[in-house]
Amino acid sequence: MKKVYIRPLKEFDALTSFIWRNDPEVWKYTGSKPDRVVTEELELAWIRVALTDTTSKRFAICLSNTDEYIGNAQLTEIEENTANFHIFIGSKINWGNGYGTLATKLLLDYGITALGLQTIRLALNEENIPALKVYEKNGFHTIAKSKGIILMQYVNRGSCRPSTIDSGNIDFF
């Protein structure tokens, strides 16, 4: 079975993630494309600032069998029992392998169990069909559509989140 884990983002991740920041294909469907070339130094500075933000939790997505860092998952604008959800797989050779689905489940489980979140929201480019399927598999529902953007949310309706995917052998961090 494919297996991933999430761990807190670290400064040394800048050595890999700055490459993803400069790949237009990685950012094709996002609203947060870099507006300039991102150097290792700029990425490291961003990570340092991001890690001090008390309203967010930022994680690296890693393959369990190799510990390879393949993407980021984060909860931002955390307030009381709500947060915004963000994820991307930066390692293109790992696209389409189900890792985004597994990492989404891990981050939802973390948000609900560790942070006590009840509502988790995200915005999605309507052309990003693979991501839409990942979110739907994990229990997100569309709440609005406007100008090519789909707004989705996950609502925790109980003390325990029902598993919507086979979560066997998935590690947290």
49-95 confidence digits (pLDDT tens)? 999 999 999 999 999 999 999 999 999 999 999 999 999 999 999 99
Query: Is position 31 within any domain?
Result: yes
> Given a cut of 50, is residue 171 above it in pLDDT?
no
Q: CA–CA separation, 127 vs 116, rounded Å?
A: 32
Q: Which domain holds residue 111?
A: 4-155
> For all residues of the chain together, what is the average pLDDT?
87
Return the amino acid letter for 133: K
Pair of tokens at residue 77: 């604008």
Query: Is position 163 within any domain?
Result: no
> Given a cut of 60, is residue 161 above it in pLDDT?
no
Provide CB contacts within 8 A for 26, sequence distance 6+: 20, 88, 90, 92
Q: What is the CATH number of the domain that holds 92?
A: 3.40.630.30
> Number of folded domains in the chain?
1
Quickly state the pLDDT bin for 31 (edges 50, 70, 90). Answer: low
Query: Is position 160 within any domain?
Result: no
